[in-house]
Amino acid sequence: MSSIADDVSSILFGTSEQVGVGRGLAEYRAGRPVLIANGETLITLPVEGLDAARLAAFRMLCQPIPPRLVITASRARSLGIAATAPIALELTPDIDARTILALVGDAKATHDLLPEPAGTAANAAIELVKLAQVLPAVLVADTSPARAATFDPPIVTVEASAVARFRATATESLAIAGDAHVPLHSDVRTRFVVFRDQFGDDPVAVIVGTPDFSRPVPVRIHSACLTGDVFGSRRCDCGDQLQLALTRLQEAGGGIILYLPQEGRGVGLANKMRTYKLQDGGLDTVDANTTLGFDDDEREYGVAVRMLQMLGCTRVVLLTNNPAKLDGLAKAGIEITGRLPLETPINADNRRYMTAKASRAGHQLGHLISAFAEAHDRDDKAPPLAP
């Protein structure tokens, strides 16, 4: 039988593993070290913000054990290392912070370091740093619980097994935080329902008009895009898709936009800017993500499913060009009765991005193919250049 103290602790703090992961995320986002425990104990430090002083301090903290650099399998492959899981590179004393940052994020980094399997605890550190949406790489070194207990100030400890469960428990923790009616431009009437989870994220359901929940509801799952949605960036089609979805739902008499905090296909705003820089150097949107060490798409749609369930919406017509969204919702028990495409304008700045989405990520962009065909026909019919 649990004690009153146990009950109070569970209600106020959640489980100890949830608390540990949540605090670990906060520490990584602040650039501080975290202990990862899995039988073994690793002291870890995110590479984000690394400079000469921080590297020297971490080496002193780890003494006499030399630190290793742990990178994702995607980043390893971009360095020419065959990998299907995170790998570790031992860092010799002459390797400086600039070299480490190049190993983590440069498009054409070189190295002569021997890779080795990262291990379970280091794999958990990689998952944690990706959840924190900072650079997906960590410095690690073995330590002991007894030595870790001597660190002052104390360093947060995270159980490796808890990291894998954290996203699911965050979805389960989802609750409605507030809602209100919000009139938009062109007399679009909406109600914003704001949710909150233990990540501290605030996904929003924008209910347009008066959807009939006894019938399949038109739904758009939209990942937040500051550059496109707010500032009208021409590098992507996000803002155009959002506005078109609002128009379509208004015309349909009602529907829902799920606005999810998954910037840059789930890598976060800062990393999105890094991928843009890699794209400026010649990579497409898919290769830019994987070169930086992420999967080509880090989003997951469990939270979207939970939001729909909490709203009482179990049958949907999905407004999307992305078949992955169809699969994710269908596997989670949402009945998808149809799909409506969102075909938005193609311009000189987003053409390469749109082409990569169609050819590399499987997005169904029929209008892009038509545009290419029309351009090809125009070229064929153009008169020959004068000699």
CB neighbours of residue 99 within 10 Å: 18
CB neighbours of residue 165 within 10 Å: 14
What mean pLDDT do residues 18-44 have? Answer: 94
- Give the pLDDT score at 4: 63
Q: Judge whether 51 and 68 are in contact, CB under 8 Å.
A: no
Q: Chain-wide mean pLDDT for the chain?
A: 89
Strand order in the sheet with 217-223: 175-183, 189-196, 204-209, 254-260, 217-223, 315-319, 335-340
List the structure tokens of 217. 């509801």
Task: Give the rounded percent of residues in the chain with a pLDDT score beyond 70.
Answer: 90
Residue the block writes with tokens 């053409």: 351
CB neighbours of residue 383 within 10 Å: 5
Q: Judge whether 49 and 55 are in contact, CB under 8 Å.
A: no
Q: Give the pLDDT band of residue 325 (cuts 50, 70, 90).
A: confident
What mean pLDDT do residues 302-331 have? Answer: 91
Mean pLDDT check: name the lowest of 32-36, 347-351, 377-381.
Answer: 377-381
Q: Judge whether 275 and 176 are in contact, CB under 8 Å.
A: no
- Give the pLDDT score at 198: 84
Question: Does residue 268 carry a pLDDT above 60?
Answer: yes
Question: Does residue 370 carry a pLDDT above 70?
Answer: no
What mean pLDDT do residues 54-79 have? Answer: 96
Catalytic residues: 297, 299
Mean pLDDT check: name the lowest of 11-25, 161-175, 213-227, 316-330.
Answer: 11-25
Residue 210: φ, ψ to 5°: -130, 80
Q: Give the pLDDT band of residue 283 (cuts 50, 70, 90).
A: very high
pLDDT in tens, 85-131: 999 999 999 999 999 999 999 998 888 888 999 999 999 999 999 99
- Give the pLDDT score at 34: 97
Task: Give the rounded percent of residues in the chain with a pLDDT score beyond 90.
Answer: 72
CB neighbours of residue 14 within 10 Å: 16
List alpha helices for 200-331, DSSP H: 238-251, 263-266, 269-280, 285-291, 302-311, 323-331
- Give the pLDDT score at 332: 82
CATH label, 174-262+299-381, candidates 3.40.109.10, 3.30.70.141, 3.40.50.10990, 3.30.300.30: 3.40.50.10990
Question: Does residue 355 carry a pLDDT above 50?
Answer: yes
What mean pLDDT do residues 277-302 have? Answer: 93
In the chain, CATH 3.90.870.10 sits at: 4-168
Question: Does residue 32 carry a pLDDT above 80?
Answer: yes
Q: What distances in angstroms separate CA 217 from CA 69, 316, 367, one per listed residue?
A: 48, 5, 25
pLDDT in tens, 174-183: 999 999 999 9
- Give the pLDDT score at 366: 64
Q: What distances in angstroms separate CA 284 from CA 104, 277, 320, 322, 352, one per listed residue?
A: 18, 11, 21, 18, 7
- Give the pLDDT score at 9: 55
- Tell me which residue of 136, 150, 131, 134 sits closest to 35, measured CA to CA: 150
Q: CB within 8 A of 72, min separation 6: which ones? A: 86, 126, 130, 136, 137, 293, 294
In the chain, CATH 3.40.50.10990 sits at: 174-262+299-381
- N- to C-terminal Cα distance for the chain? 93
CA 37 to chain CA mean position, Å: 24
Q: At what angle do helices 160-172 and 16-29 cross, to 10 degrees?
A: 100
What is the CATH topology of the domain spanning 4-168? DHBP synthase (3.90.870)
Compute the Cα dihedral for 265, 266, 269, 270 and give only its sign: negative
What mean pLDDT do residues 328-355 have? Answer: 89
Mean pLDDT check: name the lowest of 66-70, 184-188, 243-247.
Answer: 184-188
Question: Does residue 372 carry a pLDDT above 70?
Answer: no
Q: Give the pLDDT band of residue 6 (cuts 50, 70, 90).
A: low
The whole-angstrom separation of Cα 35 and Cα 225 is: 33
pLDDT in tens, 294-316: 999 998 889 999 999 999 999 99
Q: Give the pLDDT band of residue 373 (cuts 50, 70, 90).
A: very low
